[in-house]
């Protein structure tokens, strides 16, 4: 890239090559800084109409305002004679700044794309399954891409430094057992990174999913590059490594849909009539339409013992939080109904209180009854 014609005319007035190069560098920085500022402001105004262009221009404005003057400055150093003092060092430093600026530009571009996707797929709606799936994929993949861009940027910076390049070559040559030890030590980190990619692609969990992890009920609050934050029902936070969700079983209550069927167990006496209780269960469900979705309302006898029988009420709701409230509502009011209408039908303990009395015995021998026996084999 050549120096502009205006700067070439000034060479007739400035005889010193070093001063001439310094003057050209200052003029290029001033012209490109002002022109890039004006152009980027104009582009920012024109991009307000569309979401993608607005976010990109807003995030890329600062990196471009730094990168454009650096390209002009590098062009000045490249056109200057190599015999000038500090020219090789200035070229190397400017190249490093350009690499850092490009890395910054790519990171800001990825962030802008992520914000566009998140804004177009909000989760604060009723049916947010698709939005949660897209947001989970976007966040995990963007974190992976950010890490890749940082690694490439740091590698490019090191490759431009001769000392660091030699150090890297010697480090690769002497890897040996030390390399194996470092690789073994970094195995959990690498495993979490690979698990993050697997979660982004297969999606066993998504943001705002209701899960049971380590016998704790909670929601997926955040998915990072190495761990997952689960917000437990009592506002505690459970930090779980990403690899856990790949290697261990867990419950996901909102994998396909948020609908849930809950159960309420009540032990009652055998004398309790079931039909009035079924009618009461139906009435209790219908009086809370904000909790019951109108699909499942069933009362069944699921177990018996020598003292009582177990009743199970199944009720459904559109999500787990409403189902929990509905189950508590059903349990409290069913017990109250039994206490009011059939107080003797609660579980009872029966015992024979005739202590010390003997039953009369018939002295006449009883005739042996004919008992059906198994035929000989």
Is 115 within a domain?
yes
Is 272 within a domain?
yes
Strand partners, 25: none
Q: What is the pLDDT of residue 146?
A: 86
**What order of strands is seen across the sheet that includes strand 251-252?**
237-241, 227-232, 216-223, 210-213, 251-252
Q: Tell me the pLDDT band of 322, cut-offs 50, 70 and 90.
A: very high
Do the beta carbons of residue 100 and residue 161 sit within 8 Å? no
Count of the separate structural domains present in the chain: 2
How far lies 160's CA from each of 87, 91, 117, 346, in Å? 15, 11, 36, 83
CATH code of the domain in which 341 resides? 3.30.70.100
Q: Tell me the pLDDT band of 325, cut-offs 50, 70 and 90.
A: very high
Q: Is the pLDDT of residue 91 over 90?
A: no
Is 160 within a domain?
no
Cα gap 81→194, rounded to integer Å: 49
Residue in 46, 66, 67 with CA at minimum distance from that of residue 57 = 46
For residue 192, give the 3-state DSSP assignment.
Answer: helix
Is 184 within a domain?
no
What is the pTM assigned to this prediction? 0.56
**What order of strands is seen across the sheet that includes strand 309-317?**
260-268, 309-317, 297-304
Cα gap 83→297, rounded to integer Å: 90
Is 195 within a domain?
no
User: Which of residues 85, 120, 155 is at a domain's end?
Assistant: 120
Is 333 within a domain?
yes
Q: What tens digit of pLDDT does each residue of 192-229 get?
A: 667 777 777 778 888 888 999 999 999 998 888 788 99
Where in the sequence is the domain holding 104, given as residue range(s)?
5-120
User: Which of residues 70, 97, 120 is at a domain's end?
Assistant: 120
Q: What is the pLDDT of residue 14?
A: 58
| DSSP conformation class of 293 | -
Is 161 within a domain?
no
Q: Count other C-beta atoms under 10 Å from residue 201's C-beta.
A: 10
Task: Specify the residue for token string 């339409």.
Answer: 289
């Amino acid at each position: 890239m050549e120096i502009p014609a205006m700067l070439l005319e000034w060479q007739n007035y400035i005889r010193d090559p070093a001063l001439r190069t310094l003057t050209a560098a200052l003029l290029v920085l001033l012209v490109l800084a002002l022109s890039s500022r004006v152009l980027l402001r104009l582009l920012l105004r024109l991009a307000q109409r569309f979401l993608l262009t607005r976010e990109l221009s807003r995030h890329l404005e600062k990196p471009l305002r730094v990168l454009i003057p650096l390209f002009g400055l590098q062009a000045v150093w490249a056109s200057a004679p190599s015999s000038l003092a500090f020219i090789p060092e200035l070229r190397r430093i400017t190249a490093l700044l350009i690499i850092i600026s490009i890395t910054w530009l790519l990171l800001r571009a990825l962030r802008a794309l992520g914000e566009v996707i998140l804004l177009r797929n909000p989760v604060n709606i009723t049916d947010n399954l698709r939005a949660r799936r897209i947001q989970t994929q976007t966040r995990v993949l963007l974190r992976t891409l950010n890490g890749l861009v940082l690694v490439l940027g740091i590698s490019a910076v090191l490759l431009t430094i001769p000392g660091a390049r030699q150090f890297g070559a010697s480090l690769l040559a002497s890897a040996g057992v030390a390399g194996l030890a470092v690789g073994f030590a970094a195995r959990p980190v690498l495993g979490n990174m690979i698990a993050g990619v697997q979660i982004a692609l297969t999606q066993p969990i998504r943001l705002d999913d209701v899960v049971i992890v380590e016998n704790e009920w909670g929601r997926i609050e955040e998915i990072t590059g190495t761990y997952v934050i689960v917000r437990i029902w009592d506002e505690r936070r459970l930090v779980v490594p990403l690899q856990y969700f790949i290697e261990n079983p867990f419950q996901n209550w909102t994998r396909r849909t948020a609908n849930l069927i809950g159960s309420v167990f009540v032990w009652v006496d055998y004398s309790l009539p079931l039909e009035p209780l079924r009618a009461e269960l139906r009435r209790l469900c219908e009086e809370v339409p904000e909790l019951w979705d109108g699909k499942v309302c069933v009362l069944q006898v699921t177990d018996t013992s020598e003292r009582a029988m177990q009743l199970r009420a199944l009720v459904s709701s559109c999500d787990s939080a409403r189902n929990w409230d509905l189950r508590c509502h059903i349990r409290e009011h069913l017990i109250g109904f039994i206490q009011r209408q059939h107080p003797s039908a609660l579980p009872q303990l029966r015992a024979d209180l005739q202590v010390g009395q003997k039953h009369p015995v018939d002295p006449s021998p009883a005739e042996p009854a004919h008992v059906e026996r198994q035929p000989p084999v």
